[in-house]
C-alpha cells in the first residue's frame, strides 16, 4: 500500500501551523456607514415651498436651551460628518462662518444649518458642516400647472385646495406646538407619506398627452437622487453621518437609504426628546 507514503508527502508539503498563524491576515472590512436623516421644517422659512406657513421663533430662551441640548445629544452619536441643505458652491462661505462661530465672532442666524448643524459640528470636534444640496435641477412644475390651467381645471382646483389646507394646518401647528413637538412631527412616517402623496395627486396630469404631471414628479425625485449621491459620497464605510434637510427631501431620501445595502439608517427620533428637567 502506498497510501501512508502519499500522506507523508502531503504532510511534508503542508506549511507548518506556526507559519499559518504568522501569515498576514486580510484586513477586516469596515462597518457600513451609519446615516441619520434629520428632516425638519425650515427655521427661517424663505417662503419657497408650495405649502406655506409662519414658523415658530427658535431664538427664544427656551428654544435655544432645547436646541443646545439637542446638539449635545446628536454630538453624542459621534458623527464624522454633518451634512446640511446648502449649496456646495457656498462651502467656502460656510467654512469661514463656522470658524467665526468657533472663535466667538459669528452669531448664529435662525436657519437650521446654523442652529443645529454648526452646533453639532462644533461639539463633535469637526472642522465644519458639508453642503450637500443640489440646485441645478429642481421641481419643474410650470408645464404641469400650465397644462392644468388649460385642460384640467378640476385637478388644478384640487391641488390648490390641498395646498391651502396643508398651509392652514401647518400654521396652526407652528402657532400652538412646542419646538420638540414640531420636530417630532417632521420626522413622523405619516408626514413623509403625506408629503410624497402630493406628487401622486398630480402625477396623472397629462397622462398619454405629454405626461406633464409625471415629468414634474420625476424632476423632484431627480433632485433628491442627486442629493442622495452627495450623501453616498460622504457616507463611506465606517463613517457616521448626520444629514440635516427639509422634510420634503428627507421623506424621499429615507426611501433610498432603506434599500441601500452599503449603509445603515439610524433613527433620529430618540434624540429629539428633551433632556429631563
List pLDDT tens digits, range 237-274. 999 999 999 999 999 999 999 999 999 999 999 999 99
Taken in order 270, 132, 108, 241, is the CA torsion positive or negative? Answer: positive
Structure confidence by residue, pLDDT tens digits, 135-157: 999 999 999 999 999 999 999 99
Are residues 255 and 227 in contact, defined by beta-carbon separation less than 8 angstroms? no
171 burial level (CB within 10 Å; 0-12, 13-18, 19+): middle
Rounded to a whole number of angstroms, the distance between the first and last alpha carbons of the chain is 85
Q: Which residues of 199-219 are buried (b: 16+ CB within 10 A; e: fewer)?
A: beebbebbeeeebbbbbbbeb
The C-alpha atoms of residue 192 and residue 177 are separated, in whole angstroms, by: 19
Question: What is the side-by-side strand order in the sheet with 263-266?
Answer: 130-131, 81-84, 240-246, 33-40, 263-266
What distance in Å separates the CA atoms of residue 18 and residue 237, rounded to the nearest whole number?
33
Indicate if the pLDDT at residue 202 is higher than 80.
yes
Q: Round to whole Å and give the CA distance between 81 and 91.
A: 14
- What residues form DSSP beta bridges with 264? 34
* Nearest alpha carbon to residue 33 among 238, 233, 230: 238
Per-residue pLDDT band for 113 (boundaries 50, 70, 90) equals: very high
Residue 9: what pLDDT? 43
Q: Provide CB contacts within 8 A for 1, sequence distance 6+.
A: none
Q: CA–CA separation, 114 vs 106, rounded Å?
A: 10
Mean pLDDT value across residues 85-109: 98
Mean pLDDT over 71-90 rounds to 98
Which of 252, 242, 251 has its CA nearest to residue 272? 242
For residue 241, the surrounding DSSP H or E stretch is strand 240-246
Domains of the chain: 33-44+52-137+224-271 (3.40.50), 141-212 (no CATH)
pLDDT at position 30, please?
Answer: 80
Cα 265 from Cα 277, distance rounded (Å): 30
Q: Which long-range contacts (CB under 8 A, 24 or more apart) does 91-95 make?
A: 91/130, 91/131, 94/128, 94/129, 94/131, 95/127, 95/128
Amino acid at each position: 500500500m502506498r497510501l501512508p507514503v502519499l500522506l507523508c508527502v502531503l504532510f511534508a508539503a503542508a506549511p507548518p501551523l506556526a507559519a499559518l498563524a504568522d501569515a498576514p491576515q486580510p484586513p477586516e472590512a469596515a462597518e457600513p456607514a451609519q446615516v441619520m436623516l434629520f428632516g425638519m421644517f425650515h427655521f427661517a422659512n424663505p417662503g419657497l415651498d408650495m405649502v406655506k406657513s409662519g414658523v415658530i421663533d427658535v431664538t427664544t430662551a427656551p428654544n435655544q436651551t432645547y436646541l443646545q441640548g439637542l446638539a449635545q445629544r446628536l454630538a453624542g452619536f459621534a458623527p464624522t460628518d454633518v451634512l446640511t441643505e446648502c449649496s456646495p458652491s457656498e462651502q467656502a462661505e460656510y467654512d469661514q462662518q463656522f470658524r467665526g462661530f468657533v472663535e466667538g465672532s459669528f452669531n448664529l442666524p435662525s436657519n437650521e444649518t446654523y442652529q443645529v448643524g454648526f452646533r453639532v459640528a462644533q461639539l463633535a470636534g469637526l472642522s465644519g458642516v458639508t453642503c450637500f444640496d443640489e440646485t441645478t435641477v429642481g421641481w419643474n412644475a410650470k408645464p404641469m400647472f400650465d397644462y392644468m390651467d388649460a385642460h384640467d381645471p378640476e385637478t388644478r382646483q384640487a391641488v390648490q385646495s390641498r395646498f391651502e389646507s396643508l398651509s392652514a394646518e401647518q400654521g396652526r401647528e407652528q402657532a400652538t406646538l412646542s419646538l420638540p413637538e414640531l420636530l417630532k412631527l417632521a420626522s413622523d412616517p405619516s408626514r413623509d407619506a403625506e408629503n410624497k402623496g402630493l406628487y401622486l395627486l398630480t402625477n396623472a396630469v397629462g397622462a398619454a398627452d405629454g405626461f406633464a404631471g409625471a415629468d414634474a414628479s420625476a424632476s423632484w425625485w431627480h433632485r433628491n437622487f442627486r442629493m442622495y449621491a452627495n450623501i453616498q459620497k460622504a457616507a463611506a464605510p465606517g463613517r457616521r453621518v448626520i444629514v440635516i434637510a427639509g422634510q420634503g427631501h428627507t421623506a424621499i431620501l429615507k426611501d433610498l437609504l432603506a434599500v441601500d445595502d452599503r449603509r445603515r439608517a439610524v433613527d433620529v427620533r430618540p434624540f429629539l426628546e428633551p433632556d429631563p428637567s
